[in-house]
Amino acid sequence: MNEDTMLTIASLLNFLLLTFHLAGDIVYGWEPGKLANLIGVVLISGVWLYGTLVLRERLAGYIIVLLGSLLGLFVPYVHMSGAKGVGVASRLAGHQGHLFFVWGLLAIGVVSFFSVILCVRGIWRVWSAKRSEARG
């Protein structure tokens, strides 16, 4: 399997995990679940999916997916550090679904990190190809 196919799959998986995660945040009451969330998610998700599927193997696509992946890396960090240094465990007390929520955070971190690596390699490949065309 080539790296661009792996990046597409990882990006789509990351998108799915992050939307599940946001839904969990809304259910647990950590996000308000108002119209602003819906509009933000639709706009960000639309751009992310466009970069993943339509701009695949292009510099703009790599940059969009890289930004989404960096956002994905930020999510577990925020939840694990928490307010005043208190991690996610204390905030989950009294709620159902602990395993899926925490597993989701870990999976988002792993898939996001993998996507960042693939994006950097893809950007490097595009820049190298452009440099060799310019020389030659």
Tens digit of each residue's pLDDT (9 = 90 or more) over 118-134: 999 999 999 999 888 88
Q: What is the pLDDT of residues 67-126, one digit of tens each?
A: 999 999 999 998 888 766 567 766 676 667 688 888 999 999 999 999 999 999 999 999
pTM above 0.85, yes or no: yes
What domain range is 125 assigned to?
A: 3-131
The pLDDT value recorded for residue 104 is 93
* Confidence (pLDDT) at 10: 97
- 67: in domain: yes
With b meaning 16 or more CB within 10 Å and e meaning fewer, what string describes 68-91? Answer: bbeebbebbeebeeeeeeeebeeb
Q: Any idea what DSSP says for residue 1?
A: -
- Whether 38 maps to a domain, the answer reads yes
Q: What is the mean pLDDT of residues 40-51?
A: 94
How many domains is the chain built from? 1
In a domain, 136, yes or no: no
Rg (CA), the chain: 17
pLDDT given at position 98: 80
In a domain, 73, yes or no: yes
pLDDT (0 to 100) of residue 32: 86
Tell me, yes or no, whether 117 lies in a domain.
Answer: yes
Is residue 80 assigned to a domain?
Answer: yes
